[in-house]
Amino acid sequence: MNYSKTSINHPFLEVLVCCGESEQKQAVKGLYYCGQLPNPRPRVVAIVGARHCTKYGEEIAYQAAYELAKRGVVVVSGLAYGIDSCAHRGCLDAGGITVAVLGTPIDKIYPRCNLGLAERILERGAIISEYPPEHETRAYDFQIRNRIVSGLADAVLIVEASKNSGTYGTYESALKQGKDVFVVPGDLTKPMSSGTNDMLRQGAHPYLEVGDIMLSFGSRAAYGQLNGLPREAMNAYAAIQSGYETAEEIMAALKLDAHSVMTALTLLELRGLAKNCSGKWSL
């Protein structure tokens, strides 16, 4: 596996300055990566949760990642069993970009059963780790890794977790970093929902649909005006919101032809939701 080393000055990684501000020993100084790091930086959502999740959790993680990817959002997760894997797959199946953050050295994919998934991720996205190839993995490396998962994101979605779940590490890191945390409400009788329901009781935002997260990126009024527009127009709005400016960039992000993108942008412009200045689109 070919890999490179980079500082956090890369446009996609510079948000990691929020990691380790209170503990310098956990500050991220550099990362190893394979694949392509998104540039310019789009909107990013981390989707995490239990490894031994329920079928319901798998479906929600997959669906959320799929819908976010269709709106031009990059999905970050940890390549673990369960929720992580479903999030990566949902994003990929939607034609989106996903980034996996390892708790192991950059050249040691874990779990090994996800090698095929890792190869799919590298086709358009990236795999990153702060650990060099010679690093000997320790059990707590995975928990330390979680601060990078949340640090890369603009918002964090937690799908399922018991009260003893390691997902609490990502939850706590996200709060310290000032991230918006969304949590899927769960069955009160199921142990796998005890942790997520506890997070909701502590004040996390409930996740009921992908619009809940998209609203955190922009105004509620603007999102309401998107109702009734074709999916292409909604996705184009999300792409502009994520930092894509030209029609060509939006075409590449959404994998749409020029006619579809220009029709979508014209609809947004007619509704006063987007404006074009010298070929650059903004909200």
Asked whether residue 117 falls in the same domain as residue 248, the answer is: no
| Total length of the chain | 283
Query: Do the bridges between strand 98-101 and strand 44-48 make them parallel or antiparallel, or are there none, so unpaired?
Result: unpaired
Looking at 177-255, list the stretches that DSSP marks H as alpha helix, in order from N- to C-terminal side.
194-201, 210-217, 220-225, 231-241, 247-254
CATH number of the domain where residue 154 is located = 3.40.50.450
Number of domains forming the structure of the chain: 2
Asked whether residue 243 falls in the same domain as residue 116, the answer is: no
DSSP 39-92: SS---EEEEE--SS--HHHHHHHHHHHHHHHHTT-EEEE---TTHHHHHHHHHH
Asked whether residue 190 falls in the same domain as residue 256, the answer is: no
pTM over the 0.85 mark: no
pLDDT per residue as tens digits for the range 183-204: 999 999 999 999 999 999 999 9
What was the pLDDT predicted at 214?
82
Asked whether residue 207 falls in the same domain as residue 226, the answer is: no
pLDDT per residue as tens digits for the range 46-62: 999 999 999 999 999 99
Asked whether residue 212 falls in the same domain as residue 223, the answer is: no
Asked whether residue 194 falls in the same domain as residue 268, the answer is: no
Residues 170 and 191: their CA atoms lie apart, in Å, by 19
Asked whether residue 158 falls in the same domain as residue 181, the answer is: yes
CB 45 within 8 A of CB 205: no
Asked whether residue 138 falls in the same domain as residue 114, the answer is: yes
Q: What is the mean pLDDT of residues 157-172?
A: 93
Asked whether residue 199 falls in the same domain as residue 229, the answer is: no
What was the pLDDT predicted at 30?
83
pLDDT per residue as tens digits for the range 40-96: 888 999 999 999 999 999 999 999 999 999 888 999 999 999 999 999 999 999 999
What was the pLDDT predicted at 71?
84
10 Å CB burial of residue 6 (0-12, 13-18, 19+) is: middle
CATH number of the domain where residue 253 is located = 1.10.10
216, 237, 254 - which closes a domain: 216
Average pLDDT for the chain: 89
What is the rounded (10 degree) CA torsion for 258, 10, 112, 114?
Answer: -20
Query: Do the bridges between strand 126-129 and strand 4-7 make them parallel or antiparallel, or are there none, so unpaired?
Result: unpaired
Position 224 confidence tier, pLDDT thresholds 50, 70, 90: low
What was the pLDDT predicted at 239?
82
Closest by CA to 267, choosing from 239, 241, 232, is 232
Asked whether residue 119 falls in the same domain as residue 183, the answer is: yes
95-109, 134-148, 168-182, 194-208: least confident range: 134-148
Asked whether residue 139 falls in the same domain as residue 206, the answer is: yes
175, 198, 216 - which closes a domain: 216
Residue whose pair of structure tokens reads 């579809």 in the numeric block: 260
Asked whether residue 146 falls in the same domain as residue 97, the answer is: yes
Residue 244 domain boundaries = 219-282
Terminus-to-terminus CA distance in the chain, angstroms? Answer: 40
